[in-house]
Structure 1
């Protein structure tokens, strides 16, 4: 019996790209600099996977996502020739705490919460995810993060750690995500899987392919559709 749902957050629950581009554009306006902020946002987001790999290889100690994001932000600002004071960089880095939910997210989560325990399961650190929930009105029962387990997704320890903390068997827990690679890793750890299609995550000009209809336990167009199917 399915008892709990764990949600990937960036791209699945919140529209990270539009939120980050909007704040970067305002930052540029305030500093009088003209940069391709959409590309900047994409480069910023793309940098965190290589940074996590540096931690896995032992080149960096365990590092919160906030700090990985800040390292990449400084690199990108320097490459773009943009100078800013440390407090301004800190404030800009916290844009990841202020991401807006997809339009269906709050209503869908509220419905799902009536029947299941719902939690985050993200590489974002706990403070980031908590602040994001406050900002967006996300009705989590609890906030779980890779930070708690000392591993990033897709490491097996994150998925099994979530089940352990919620006191459910792995097959009583479903990972909900818009990213097939995350779901495949969760499935390998024994979790059930729910795919939600977010075609605009990478922007209106980049197509996000759908996996095969039978690859995951549930295939949904959004959280309201997921609630209907569960």
Structure 2
């Protein structure tokens, strides 16, 4: 790993689903109805299911950057169901299952170390969200990440219409509301940027917004750090745009490792080295990263 002076950065761009929130467990659980009724997937492991889902979702996001994420979830469910039914003698399922799957995002849980780590990191950096999500779905997650699910409306972004992608007012500034407990200075979703990661348009818009944003106090991209679990969605695109990154390699995660042929089938020691040279530091939890940050700032004193 490269040496990285963590105290030199002013802002962090966070991925949410996979990094801060467990999406793999609920997605897998939500797909069980498809697996159960389709003989073609009888022998599939959790990993097989998640990888198949990931390919379907990424394909739809690339083809339909204008779709809200709730629609992406719903259509990904239907498409995977169609593929599995076609492969075996199964029947493809009901509209209701797909809608239920899309709505499940409201209940996806933060990892146990997330809320405390975000609170700690927000004292050191301006935290930005860049997430493949829509405003309405993210409000539920945002309230959980802020440990304030009682006040959902504080965490819901209600944007003004007719914005241009690089309008400096793009995105949501939850901390401007004194009642908000959000750790985030700026929230950008695919609904704001008009692109799903790994499209460089998303991360490009985030860089531009952070630099223009008076709340962030960032001069140029050398002061921005990307922190994410997904090599595919975040780490590789960040590297292409010249950003430094930290890989949160949560153990057992599968989605977003598909950057080399069959890389998730590699042994654990090789998986740890995936994408080496694209990221600067690797941690297994966000909590470990937050502790390292505190050491970095303490050493500076």
TM range (shorter): 0.7 to 0.9
Deviation, structure 1 residue 120: 1.6
Deviation, structure 1 residue 65: 2.2
* 2:54 match: 45
Alpha-carbon distance between aligned partners in 2 of 1:63 and 1:82, rounded to the nearest angstrom: 23
Alpha-carbon distance between aligned partners in 2 of 1:87 and 1:197, rounded to the nearest angstrom: 34
Q: Does 1:164 align with 2:208?
A: yes
| Structure with max Cα Rg | 2
* 2:191 match: 147
**In the superposition, relative to structure 1, how do residues 216 and 132 fare at CA in structure 2: closer, same or farther (>3 Å)?**
same
Residue segments in structure 2 that go unaligned for 5+ positions in a row = 1-7, 148-181, 256-263, 294-301
Alpha-carbon distance between aligned partners in 1 of 2:98 and 2:278, rounded to the nearest angstrom: 42
Deviations 1:157-208 (A, max 9, x none): 22221122223322221111122342121122232211111121129x9666
Alpha-carbon distance between aligned partners in 1 of 2:97 and 2:37, rounded to the nearest angstrom: 17
Q: Does 1:226 align with 2:256?
A: no
Residue segments in structure 1 that go unaligned for 5+ positions in a row = 56-60
* 2:179 match: none
* 2:27 match: 20
* 1:193 match: 245
Aligned length: 218
For the 8 Å contact 1:65–1:123, the answer to whether it is kept is: yes
Under a length normalisation based on structure 1, what TM-score does the superposition of the two structures give?
0.79
* 1:58 match: none
Query: SS state of the match for residue 75, structure 2?
Result: helix
After alignment, is 34-43 or 103-112 more displaced? 34-43
For the 8 Å contact 2:130–2:187, the answer to whether it is kept is: yes
* 2:70 match: 66
**In the superposition, relative to structure 1, how do residues 42 and 190 fare at CA in structure 2: closer, same or farther (>3 Å)?**
closer
For the 8 Å contact 1:16–1:201, the answer to whether it is kept is: no
* 1:178 match: 229
* 2:165 match: none
| CA RMSD in angstroms, aligned pairs only | 2.9
Q: Does 1:103 align with 2:112?
A: yes
Under a length normalisation based on structure 2, what TM-score does the superposition of the two structures give?
0.62
Alpha-carbon distance between aligned partners in 1 of 2:240 and 2:81, rounded to the nearest angstrom: 39
For residues 198-217 of structure 1, what are the structure 2 equivalents within 5 Å?
Answer: 198-202=250-254, 209-211=271-273, 215-217=278-280
Deviation, structure 1 residue 64: 2.0
For the 8 Å contact 2:13–2:227, the answer to whether it is kept is: yes
Deviation, structure 1 residue 83: 3.7
Alpha-carbon distance between aligned partners in 1 of 2:78 and 2:114, rounded to the nearest angstrom: 31
